[in-house]
Amino acid sequence: MLEKKLNIRSLSQEDLKNFFISKGEKAFRGKQVWEWLWEKSARNFSEMTNLSKTVRLVLEEHFTFPIVTLDNIQISNDRTIKSAFRLFDNNIVEGVLIPTASRMTACISSQVGCSLTCKFCATGKLARLRNLDAEEIYDQVVLLRNQAQEKYQQPLTNIVYMGMGEPLLNYKNMLRSVERITAPDGLNMSPSRITVSTAGIAKMIQKLGDDEVRFNLALSLHAANDEKRNRIMPINEENSLDALANAMNYFYEKTGTSVTFEFIVFKDFNDGVEDAKELAAYCKKVPAKVNIIEYNPIDGGEFEQTLPERLNRFTGILEERGVIVNVRRSRGKDIDAACGQLANKNDAITKEGEKLILKSK
């Protein structure tokens, strides 16, 4: 019976050392391979040039080395780059490189599709096919980091888990990817440069506190009363605003990190005076700041972007009540790369489960 090959990046450094010992090799070979996998971001065994050809052949005989590949890119007028990433099983996820004057941000995906059906998000119209493995999340960062250097000659400065999927529903792989991205024997990025965004799963936010994570947390809020939030985010029906506030306060107590509320202001839905007052009141319950996000239209969407004068009134009310507010202008709208627009437009994955593997536009 043929031995089933393991994905080499699923092994620990100790596993690799033990493998080499079992093959009559020195244990330090395991450390060499580990460095190639996570520090040098090797893409295949042949790149591991300080290993003999014989050792590399042994690795190929016993392990697989699936990688994420760049399927296609689109470059926006504002220099934002949207990438379609092809996974080993031919599924596609999207990531975005967002250049600004002060930072270079990688927006990465954590799932193929999404199960949460938020009404304003194109990804929510897709079926959730599977979670991404930790190394698939890591690969997105590496590919976007390389893009930043090659296209703009700038280093990657920030990472946001705000692409396709709900990171807290892929908790183990999300944490493992952060560990490999931030570890000294990984990409060695600061956890303070990483933000994980969630639609709001109270028990998992509490678990982040228990695990005393060091990255930043953002909550996609978009309404500060349960009735409205239930209408646009069905997940709120089992994770009420009070439950989320309790979880976020626990997170803050355990980590010392305040939360960022992401709030898309929709015309005639949540952009009124009362909506702003409710949001200001909710901000008193949890140590938080607010990022106001432009609504980015999606195919078949039921919402519109609010008017500038209503947005100004909304932010004014928050500021009068002592809330820290930033208005984030959308990037990459012309290539469907902005917040809420990632949908693999030509890689159609519908809620009925029909999947077409085609080149992205």
Active-site positions read 94, 339
Angle between helices 134-152 and 171-182 (to 10 degrees): 40
Q: How far apart are CA 357 and CA 127, in angstroms?
A: 14
Q: How far apart are CA 133 and CA 10, in angstroms?
A: 9
Three-class secondary structure of residue 220 per DSSP: strand
- Fill in the amino acid letter for 315: T
Sign of CA dihedral 166, 182, 203, 321: negative
Rg (CA), the chain: 22
Q: Contact 198/168 with Cβ under 8 angstroms?
A: yes
Q: How far is CA 307 from CA 91, 278, 295, in A?
A: 38, 20, 11
Q: How far apart are CA 336 and CA 133, in angstroms?
A: 25
Q: How far apart are CA 238 and CA 244, in angstroms?
A: 10
DSSP 46-114: GG-TTS-HHHHHHHHHHEE----EEEEEEE-TTS-EEEEEE-TTS-EEEEEEEE-SS-EEEE--SEES-
Angle between helices 241-255 and 202-210 (to 10 degrees): 10
As given in the structure block, the two tokens for residue 95 are 């990531």
